[in-house]
Chains A and B, each alone.
Chain A
Amino acid sequence: MKKTECVAMLLAGGQGSRLGVLTQNIAKPAVPYGGKYRIIDFPLSNCTNSGIDTVGVLTQYQPLELNDYIGSGKPWDLDRSNGGVHILPPYQNNKGGDWYKGTANAIYQNIPFIKRYDPEYVLILSGDHIYKMDYSDMIEQHKESGADCTIAVIEVPMEEASRFGIMNCNPDGSIYEFEEKPKNPKSNLASMGIYVFSWDKLKKYLEEDEADPNSSNDFGKNIIPNMLNDNQKMVVYRFADYWKDVGTIDSLWEANLDLLDPKIKLDLSDPKWRIYSRTPSAPPQYISDTAKVQNSLITEGCEVFGTVDFSILFDNVTVEEGAIVKDSLVMPGAVIKKGASVQYAIIAENVVVEESASVGERPEDVSDLSSWGVSVVGAGLTIGKNAKVKAGVMIKENLEEGGKQ
């Protein structure tokens, strides 16, 4: 095997349980985003745009759709004869086998994969965030600083810092302390879960961590603190562009609608940094005479006869005449029938919202604002004729005609 300078390992095994019904049958990185993407398109496209063409994708939870989506890696130019994208599920060996116990254990179990490429550096990524980042710049800094580990950080508002893993560092960027969700944060530099390790160091710490029966085999809880305790050179890499976790219904909804905000710096149309995706062959979108479309993102295969306002329609969505879609995400293949209304909602793939049904409510129309939230309908479900889904409800089963939830 030809030597490869940097191998990327993408942790894609998480369930993303806070996304509820949206990740019932698919892993979180496979969740649709932005009209024609899935979350994993961001780290994969970042890799290929950064010149990293060896990527291991660690899967565990509901991998079918993700495996199918990644396939040979063609859409990201990652179908390579040397390197390319590889799906790495847990496996059995002659001593038995195990599920991935934690993020560090997942990488540990795939040391043989990394060894095949004999890299200098290993880049650890997750499939949980929407961002465009040039990893080659981070690796360059890692090399120049002579660090053993470089951790990408982003400034978050101080009042939110206690939700993140916070890096406390010296003026030169070297980290002296890591605090996971501190009550009284000393800094607002949050870890983005993106690490560059020098491979010999990472291998050593993975092996030591595996030998420790009390470890939870996690990067944030074990590997990073252990390296800090041993005075390894740990440096932050500052990132200042758009970066958003899409781990909850609200943040997923927001991160999607951020694409409609011209003030927000997330340009997916930059030809120099394309976000690639696997897209079905669908004809151009058709906007009819009866349609009213404003301030929205619509993609191929959609047919719009109704009203679409401040929303994102994914591929092959139909909005029939008199139907209203506002402040919502409608995922691939969904049909919003005549006179139905979808407001402040996430409609998952292939859902049918029957005639005159309504899903979600505007915050202005709810008496008790504390109970308001985005409504969600799980993939493949039907919302019956005249049925009504209130604000903040998550629909997991078909709702019959006239039903209320």
Chain B
Amino acid sequence: MRKTNVLGIVFPNAHDNLMGEMTEFRSMGSLPFCGRYRVIDFSLSNLVNAGVSKVGIVTKNNYQSLMDHIGTGKAWDLDRKSGGLFFLPPYSNTDAKVYKGHVDGLFGAMNFLRSSSEEYVVMCDCDIITNFDLSDMIDRHIDSGADITIAYKKGVMPQNNHDVMAFKLDGDKITDIKFAAPESADRCVSLDITVMSKELLIKIIEEGFERNFTSIARDVYQRSLDKLDIRGYEVTEYAAVMDSPETYAKVTAEVVNDPAVRRQLFCKDRPVFTKTRDDMPTIYGLDSEVKNSLIADGCVIEGTVKNSVLFRGVKVGKDAVIENCIIMQDSVIEANADLQFVTLDKKVRITVGKTLRGTETYPIYVRKKAEV
């Protein structure tokens, strides 16, 4: 059943600044991931699979590639008469400006919030790779009577330790919030997926705007623990936060190397939807050798590919060797090239016989459309 009483809000620009060159010309949400996805696909699919059918996307800047990817929302069944997809760009009302945090960002989307009839709101950042039963979280929030419920992941996660929000919990109740807490097996890290009533959210934003708040986490949640009933919801499935190019490479490697991670991210009951491109299946040539790799459709492989991810439409020439690499869509690796620990952005060309070597902790990144 659809959750007609729940509104989704997605922040595709969350933590853009942490990804370096990878997000120079795109938002975090439109960062390509795992062969055929963009990072935002996970947030949108979690919402849609939970039955949420009205989603607002609060964009900030660099959102051309995002709009191109999402279009009318067809791929997520969000092209609807009732509800569906709403782009909420800055400058959408007269006194708007580019926002810094979620509080002022949502203030610009206030009309959308006020005019929506839904009782509850789910907010998601787009730097989280996870696939879990969000509808269970929403149900638990409603049943518990909590003011706010925030999803968290317990334990060590692939991340570069930016100032993640970590909780101290008493049962489900969050008793303390710390930022940049050291990594440990019992640290509970926020996944920045939050459920609350729309009424409360509007109140928080109005008050927060008056007091010149920007961050909802620091300025609201952390300061209101004694006033509001804020609870945690543990996600037991795989979850990772994209917070640096190194984390990006590390998470990708985990998906390639660990079948359990793949099963959790791509479970059949909750498909991850994305824009389709109608590529033909991938062609494995006569002398190709492919080991331990994730390959999208539309590739032509004539060389060797190991421990790597190839996005759609990648060409690997004869006797080229690709190991521990992430090759984004439509890049071409010509014959006899040799790449190790390299991330190629879209439409890169590596010409005949070139060698590029990064290391596990410092992969080389080649920007979009570059020719090497």
Question: Footprint of B on A, CB under 8 Å?
Answer: 34-36, 74-75, 260, 268-269, 274-277, 279-289, 291, 293-300, 308, 312-313
Please tell me if the beta carbons of B286 and A294 are within 8 angstroms of each other in the complex: yes
Please tell me if the beta carbons of B280 and A296 are within 8 angstroms of each other in the complex: no
Name the one of B34, B262, B271, B282 contacting A297, with C-beta atoms under 8 angstroms.
B282
Given the complex, which residues of A lie within 8 Å of B273, measured CB to CB? 281
Please tell me if the beta carbons of B294 and A269 are within 8 angstroms of each other in the complex: no
Given the complex, which residues of B lie within 8 Å of A268, measured CB to CB? 280
Given the complex, which residues of A lie within 8 Å of B288, measured CB to CB? 293-294
Name the one of B271, B272, B280, B296 contacting A269, with C-beta atoms under 8 angstroms.
B280
Name the one of B35, B297, B300 contacting A36, with C-beta atoms under 8 angstroms.
B297
Most-contacted residue by chain A among B266, B280, B287 (CB, 10 A): B280
Please tell me if the beta carbons of A281 and B274 are within 8 angstroms of each other in the complex: yes
Name the one of A36, A279, A287, A294 contacting B293, with C-beta atoms under 8 angstroms.
A287
Given contacts A269-B298, A291-B291, A294-B286, contact A35 B278 (CB under 8 A): no
Please tell me if the beta carbons of B34 and A284 are within 8 angstroms of each other in the complex: yes
Given the complex, which residues of B lie within 8 Å of A295, measured CB to CB? 284-286
The smallest beta-carbon distance between B79 and chain A, in angstroms, is 10
Name the one of A276, A281, A289 contacting B291, with C-beta atoms under 8 angstroms.
A289
Please tell me if the beta carbons of B265 and A283 are within 8 angstroms of each other in the complex: yes
B17 at the binding interface (Cβ < 8 Å): no
Most-contacted residue by chain A among B36, B281, B286, B300 (CB, 10 A): B281
User: In whole angstroms, how far apart are the Cα atoms of A299 and B279 in the complex?
Assistant: 10
User: In whole angstroms, how far apart are the Cα atoms of A35 and B280 in the complex?
Assistant: 8
User: In whole angstroms, how far apart are the Cα atoms of A287 and B271 in the complex?
Assistant: 20
Q: 20 pairs across A/B with beta carbons < 8 Å?
A: A75-B276, A260-B283, A269-B280, A269-B298, A280-B271, A281-B273, A283-B35, A283-B294, A284-B35, A284-B294, A285-B294, A286-B262, A287-B293, A291-B291, A294-B284, A294-B285, A296-B284, A298-B295, A299-B282, A300-B296
Please tell me if the beta carbons of A288 and B291 are within 8 angstroms of each other in the complex: yes
Please tell me if the beta carbons of A287 and B280 are within 8 angstroms of each other in the complex: no
CB-based closest 4 A-B pairs:
A284-B35, A35-B281, A299-B281, A281-B271
User: In whole angstroms, how far apart are the Cα atoms of A36 and B276 in the complex?
Assistant: 12
Given contacts A269-B298, A283-B265, contact A297 B291 (CB under 8 A): no
Please tell me if the beta carbons of B292 and A289 are within 8 angstroms of each other in the complex: yes
Given contacts A269-B279, A279-B276, A295-B285, contact A284 B298 (CB under 8 A): no
User: In whole angstroms, how far apart are the Cα atoms of A268 and B296 in the complex?
Assistant: 16
The smallest beta-carbon distance between B66 and chain A, in angstroms, is 19
Please tell me if the beta carbons of A276 and B281 are within 8 angstroms of each other in the complex: no
User: In whole angstroms, how far apart are the Cα atoms of A299 and B34 in the complex?
Assistant: 15
Most-contacted residue by chain B among A275, A277, A284 (CB, 10 A): A284
Given contacts A294-B286, A299-B282, A312-B281, contact A283 B272 (CB under 8 A): yes
Closest A residue, CB atoms, query B298: A269
Please tell me if the beta carbons of B34 and A36 are within 8 angstroms of each other in the complex: no
Given the complex, which residues of A lie within 8 Å of B74, measured CB to CB? 74
B309 at the binding interface (Cβ < 8 Å): yes
Please tell me if the beta carbons of B278 and A285 are within 8 angstroms of each other in the complex: no
Name the one of A280, A283, A289, A308 contacting B262, with C-beta atoms under 8 angstroms.
A283
Most-contacted residue by chain B among A289, A295, A298 (CB, 10 A): A298
B290 at the binding interface (Cβ < 8 Å): yes
Closest B residue, CB atoms, query A277: B278
Given the complex, which residues of B lie within 8 Å of A293, measured CB to CB? 284, 288, 290
Please tell me if the beta carbons of B286 and A291 are within 8 angstroms of each other in the complex: no
Given the complex, which residues of B lie within 8 Å of A276, measured CB to CB? 278
The smallest beta-carbon distance between B249 and chain A, in angstroms, is 17
The smallest beta-carbon distance between A271 and chain B, in angstroms, is 9
Please tell me if the beta carbons of B284 and A34 are within 8 angstroms of each other in the complex: no
Given the complex, which residues of A lie within 8 Å of B36, measured CB to CB? 283-284, 300
User: In whole angstroms, how far apart are the Cα atoms of A12 and B356 in the complex?
Assistant: 53
User: In whole angstroms, how far apart are the Cα atoms of A352 and B74 in the complex?
Assistant: 33
User: In whole angstroms, how far apart are the Cα atoms of A274 and B280 in the complex?
Assistant: 9
Please tell me if the beta carbons of A299 and B291 are within 8 angstroms of each other in the complex: no
Closest B residue, CB atoms, query A287: B290
User: In whole angstroms, how far apart are the Cα atoms of A284 and B35 in the complex?
Assistant: 6
User: In whole angstroms, how far apart are the Cα atoms of A284 and B74 in the complex?
Assistant: 20
The smallest beta-carbon distance between A257 and chain B, in angstroms, is 13
Given the complex, which residues of A lie within 8 Å of B298, measured CB to CB? 269
The smallest beta-carbon distance between B13 and chain A, in angstroms, is 25
Given the complex, which residues of A lie within 8 Å of B291, measured CB to CB? 287-289, 291
Given contacts A281-B273, A288-B292, contact A299 B278 (CB under 8 A): no
Given contacts A274-B278, A281-B274, contact A287 B295 (CB under 8 A): yes
**Besides the contacts A283-B265, A284-B294, what 19 more A-B pairs have beta carbons closer than 8 Å?**
A36-B280, A260-B283, A268-B280, A277-B278, A281-B273, A281-B274, A283-B35, A283-B272, A286-B294, A286-B295, A287-B291, A287-B295, A295-B285, A298-B282, A298-B295, A299-B297, A300-B36, A308-B284, A313-B281
User: In whole angstroms, how far apart are the Cα atoms of A34 and B278 in the complex?
Assistant: 13
Given the complex, which residues of B lie within 8 Å of A277, measured CB to CB? 278
User: In whole angstroms, how far apart are the Cα atoms of A294 and B274 in the complex?
Assistant: 29
**0/1 string, B291-329, CB within 8 A of A gives 1:** 111111110100000000110000000000000000000
User: In whole angstroms, how far apart are the Cα atoms of A25 and B292 in the complex?
Assistant: 37
Given the complex, which residues of B lie within 8 Å of A75, measured CB to CB? 276, 278
Closest B residue, CB atoms, query A304: B290
Closest A residue, CB atoms, query B307: A289
Given the complex, which residues of B lie within 8 Å of A35, measured CB to CB? 280-281
